[in-house]
A and B are shown apart, each in its own frame.
Chain A
């Protein structure tokens, strides 16, 4: 891989990580502030949002606890996007061995999401 493309790939990966964690943190913080402003909400398990049918209606109705939970999910998917970006970078550089490896890692993580959604 020549240096210029390697640098671009690294910047892209770093950007995903940086903005992914920043945005998710901001969304979580927003959700938490709203929770506190709107009155007491009790602790309890999450896990409702694995079904996307319930996610978007609750987020767009600005249900604060759901916003915080959505931010959390954004945090959890950031590493997944990192794998995808890295895989694409490897592909652009024709390092197909690493494209395959990235697909393998992605498969395991998606498999775990599949297990989670059962």
Chain B
């Protein structure tokens, strides 16, 4: 046990949080050993996507919004086209929907593999980075790189390139890959299947703090599949909504210390989106292999320990690999690769499950297809309050540790949620002083 602090007030500041996507900082204030204030300060500049979408053509949303994130561009593309097709009253064919799901599986695999093994796993062993992890667990890192590459391969073949894909359009795809073109991805996925099956047990073996929290879980749900590219919103408190009702149940607020908006339930409570929420609400729809791996890794039907989110991500990766292989086995190239989408004056809303959680888009367009309003609510801004609550719990539990160790624990608590800070920043207060 560390000696009692010499000063009644301790301030813990981490000006740049490493191994997260984007730029953020953390401020914690303790007084007499009690937590006085906890802030996840997101200082990455706001990005104004919603503003500069206005005046653009309705067909431009997948290419513009893909630029919001280099790690999860498919999520932005899929939510944006879902919202725009809703506005225009278009319905895609089952073949197009299957190709979208396959594409999305590629992003889940590469994004989760990166986070689990290269960014998050070192935390559990007290290591500073993945190189040190590689020295101890070489086979795991080799497997992780192959797994990530298999996901990237799927994204490249379907999307035209790995980062910021260019093949998505409102109504479908510009071009459907042939079965022969997808064979490379199928071989890559088959080659990593054994590693993907072993990964949940490996990450479950990492030393994990036993903390049980009780968040309200929010995720999309579908009757016949683990929801990724669509569905209805469900919550552990009984919400059941379509995408037009999002604003009825959730509100966003600006806070002074962050360029990202904070979301909360309209009745005031915080909520959690992402792997823990999806697993709690939808685990019955996971692939057979993923359900088996989850049980073997010790996950019950609900996981309330944010430190075990890494296990749920590994289960989801296995699901995505198995799902992708099943989709590839039944792949029929959509012909034509896109349905016609005719603009009309309307408001459309759509959502999908980004690797980090629910991503909601809403657009208003006029009769000739010009965007007049855009709203995007990414998962990290929805989770930001929840992350701060986790930080508070972490600081209360580990307040006796020296600053460096407490800081490390806090960074770990933040990385439990794989925050994508670049996605979340889109707001800036403009104060005008008129005299």
A and B from one complex: no
* B interface residues, Cβ below 8 angstroms from A: none
